[in-house]
Each structure stands twice: as C-alpha cells, then as structure tokens.
Structure 1
Amino acid sequence: MEVETLQSDIALKGRPFVGSGPLSKAMSREQLIGRLARLAGSNHLPAGMAALTEYVGASHYLLARYDLVQEQGLEFVVSSNWPFDLVRRLSVDLASLYSRSTELEKCLSILQPSFALLPDDVELPAGVSQQYCSLTFNVGRTRLSLMLLFADGIILSQDRLRDVGLFAGYYSSFARARDQKAERDFDLTERELECLFWIAEGKTSDEIAMILGISRNTINNYITSVMRKTATKTRSEAIAYAVRNNLV
C-alpha cells in the first residue's frame, strides 16, 4: 500500500483533517486522568486504550508494537478492537511502510499525529472513515503506535490528540499483564552487545571475528539479529540506536 497522507489528500477528498473545536458530550481531561488512574492498577490495557479512544472522539483503536511489525503474522498487535480481517489485511502494508522509514523519520514522528488512508478495497465498519490517525510513542526502548479509526465527517481535536499520545505512553508503562506483548523482553545478548560495540568502533565483520575469535558468518548473524531487534536497516542506524539508548 502506498500510504497517502491527508496533507496531500485533503484537497482531493474534501474531508476534515484536524481541528481544535470542542467535542460534544466528550469526557473532560480531568475525567480521563481519573479513569486512567483507576484502571492503571488493574493492568487492563484494553480498557485504558478504549478510554483514550473515547476521549479523542474515535471509534476503534489498534495498539501496535513497531519493532515486531513483519510481513507475515500479527505478533505486532498489542491490543485492538479493529475488525480482525482489517488488521490482517494491513499487516503487510504496515511492515512495508515501517521498513521504508529512516531512523530519523521514526524519531521525528514521536507524539506527532499522522493521518493516512486505508486501501480502497478494505471493508470498514458502517460509518467509519477511510482515513485513520496514528500516534507513535515510546515505552522504555519499545516503540508503539496507537492507530485510531473514526466516523466519517468527524473532526479530531489537535489538543486531545496530543493528550492521547502522552497518556497512551504513560498508561502503557503501567499495564504489565503477564503475557502482554508490549512488555516482552527483546534485550540484546552479551555477544550482540559486543558486536554492536565493535561496530560503533568502526570495525568490520572480519576484524570483529578476529577480536572475538569466532567466524565472520557468526558475526554477521549477530549483527543481523541486532538490527532485527532494534528495527534498524543498516549498521549506521544500529549504531545511532545504540547511542540513543546508551547501549555503547
């Protein structure tokens, strides 16, 4: 899917983008904080995401773990009330979109609402817009995206979207259900950290192999694993990730 942003599409579609007008019958910011505070102790992630969805005036949410987005499988889904067929249809497209983004673009997208279009051939719930909104945030080293569906004709508040991005990260950090995907540990192994350190020192695979006393192919396998776990595409991006997260 070649995702089109609303900035370029709005003139063609004539649909609303983001506004700042009041939402009728919406819960207040204080009410949202109170609800999230009560839910935080229950480790009930779906309830918290549903409250944030209601607060911003959306109808459906999909919380995705970006570093698990792959071209096959739905392991990246942390919590969702999107129709299952829609999530399955979009999994390959989301993986492709994420892989085309540079590490800098990913960093700049944090807490910045982004609007895009769903493919024309997807089946949506009645009254739901083809547009959706994404909010990316970090919980520790984990990068998550909250994707929101909303009704045709609705105007989402810029201020409320910013609140949702902040509160989604805050609430997710408290939601630690035993089998919750957002808290799955993908820390690098000691050997992977060693390889990452020597990459940052400018060493080649052959040089690292000589230093560590293992084969060049094994070194390359470790480096591939590092890039998979850190959702980076090049050694330079892996180094930038390591520096940003104090790994080297």
Structure 2
Amino acid sequence: MEISQANVAWSFESAAPPARGWGISREQLIRRLGETVNRSGLGSGLAALTEYVGASHYLLARHDLSQDGGLDFVICSDWPFDIVRRLSRIVVGLNAKTSELEKCLAALQPCFHPMPDDIDLPRGISRSYCAVTLNVGRSRLLLMLLFPQDVILSQDGLRDIGVLAGYLASLKADVSVRQEREFELTDREIECLFWIAEGKTSDEVAVILGISRNTINNYITSVMRKTATRTRSEAIAHAVRHNLV
C-alpha cells in the first residue's frame, strides 16, 4: 500500500497521544511511525509505541488463534524467548476466563495481569504485564507489554497506542484469518449453528437436517472448540460478530 509521508504524518499527528515525560517525544514518535509505514517493519513501529508509553518490551499476538498451543499466533515480539515459550498457556488462560461479550467490550481497555511465579524476568522488570485487546478487521489481536518496576503506565496512553498498533498491524502484518482446516468451520457446522441461532433445539435441528441428535451436538461442540467459546450463546455471538450466520 502506497502512503505518502505527508499523509502518514497527518494521520499520526491527529491520533498520537500528547507528549509525556519519558521515552521518545511526540515528534519522534510521529517520525518513526511514518518511517515504519513507508520503509521499516512492524517491529520498529511497535518498539516506538512501547518506548513512548514507558514500557520496555512488546508482543503482538493473534488472540483468536492461541488455542492450538503453539507459537505461530505470535505476530511480532521482542520479549525474551524463554518467556515467549510460555505465552500460549497465558493467552489461552485469558481467552478461557472471558465470554464473547466480555471480549468485545474489552477492546482497547488496558488490563494488568500477574506473571506466573515460575517465569524468570529480566532484572528491574515488573512481575505484572499489560494486555490491550484490539481488532483489525475480523481478527482480534493482543498487545502485551512488559514495563519497569518503577513505571506506572498511563491508561489513556495505552489506549492510544492500542489504536496505533492496530493501524500498523493492518498495514504491515498478515493478520488475515488463518486458512488451516483445524480452525475453519465446515458448511455443516455453520448450518447447525444457523439453526441453533434461530432458537432450534438439537432435536429440532436433527429433524431439519436429517441426522442424529448426537451428530448435531458433536458439530456444535466442534464449533465451540474452534471458536474458543464455552457455551452455545457465546458461539452464536462469535458467529454473528464474524458474519457467519
């Protein structure tokens, strides 16, 4: 995507938070983000946002693909690798504790979470980390920040860099929905989900589709596993948000 330096400077000028007393200045942030959009990689822009808000390390991950237990949901990070290896369990835990409605309401709302006791952090780094959920199209992303022990991160600043991180990711990262079969809903699963969303019971859907009640329940269970939802209502909300039904 071709974007002129002037247009980039204008867009960041209007969106960037006011200057704070640490890290890089507002003018430096605008310049570095402009360079990132035109020439550099996503990491350079995330590093600028991290420094500006007073944090020390960044990690941007897909928040809707973490249930596979691997590290391929990590988009860009400068966290120490031994910590990154543990991230799958951390992000899965964050997903499991919130409903689909809560996930939608949590967008751009910074949250602080304790780091597991068995993780060794660099000296001087707080044992809490900050997580900001953001959306890029249909993809839900999670910006996770480590920060020094003596730094209090600004809620307004975190929301601002969440918006800018989403903008950068939309331009610099491939966050399209992964096309692996494991995470795709089949036509039959979507069909079952549609009838459930219409208020039909498993027995009624079984009669409509001409298959057994157990098969219907298996399809719905598969849908909840793939969408990381816990109930049929959450699965329906997920499907509506992603225009599946």
Does TM-score exceed 0.5, indicating one fold? yes
In structure 1, the residue corresponding to 2:230 is in which secondary structure? coil
What's the CA shift for 1:114?
0.8
| Partner of residue 139, structure 2 | 142
- Given the alignment, which residue of 10, 22, 28 partners 1:24? 22
Structure with higher RCO (Cα < 8 A, 6+ apart)? 1
CA distance 1:25–1:87, shift in 2 (3 Å) = closer
| Partner of residue 9, structure 2 | none
Q: In the alignment, residue 40 of structure 1 is paired with which amino acid?
A: V
| Partner of residue 184, structure 1 | 178
| Partner of residue 16, structure 1 | none
Q: Normalised by the size of structure 1, how large is the TM-score?
A: 0.78
Partner deviation per Cα, 1:36-87 (whole Å, 9 max, x = no partner): 3332355832222222212212111111212222373223322211112112
Q: Are the counterparts in 2 of residues 139 and 173 from structure 1 also a CA contact under 8 Å?
A: yes
| Partner of residue 11, structure 1 | none
| Partner of residue 106, structure 2 | 109
CA distance 1:204–1:33, shift in 2 (3 Å) = farther
What's the CA shift for 1:187?
5.5
| Partner of residue 223, structure 2 | 226
Residues 1:206 and 2:197 aligned together: no
Alignment RMSD: 2.6
Q: Are the counterparts in 2 of residues 22 and 157 from structure 1 also a CA contact under 8 Å?
A: no
CA distance in 2, matches of 1:214, 1:133: 47
Q: In the alignment, residue 113 of structure 1 is paired with which amino acid?
A: P
- Given the alignment, which residue of 83, 91, 107 partners 2:80? 83
Q: Tell me the matched-pair count.
A: 225
Partner deviation per Cα, 1:64-119 (whole Å, 9 max, x = no partner): 21222237322332221111211223432431232121222222211011112212
What stretches of structure 1 move > 6 A for 4+ residues in a row?
none
CA distance in 2, matches of 1:31, 1:49: 14
Extract unaligned runs of 5+ from structure 2: 1-17
| Partner of residue 130, structure 1 | 127
Residues 1:68 and 2:29 aligned together: no
Q: In the alignment, residue 129 of structure 2 is paired with which amino acid?
A: Y
Q: In the alignment, residue 203 of structure 2 is paired with which amino acid?
A: D
Alignment of 1:31-46 (within 5 A): 31-41=28-38, 44-46=41-43
CA distance 1:25–1:75, shift in 2 (3 Å) = closer
Q: In the alignment, residue 54 of structure 1 is paired with which amino acid?
A: E
Q: Normalised by the size of structure 2, how large is the TM-score?
A: 0.79
In structure 1, the residue corresponding to 2:71 is in which secondary structure? coil
Q: Are the counterparts in 2 of residues 41 and 174 from structure 1 also a CA contact under 8 Å?
A: no
- Identity across the alignment (%): 63
| Partner of residue 161, structure 2 | 164
In structure 1, the residue corresponding to 2:243 is in which secondary structure? coil
| Partner of residue 196, structure 1 | 193
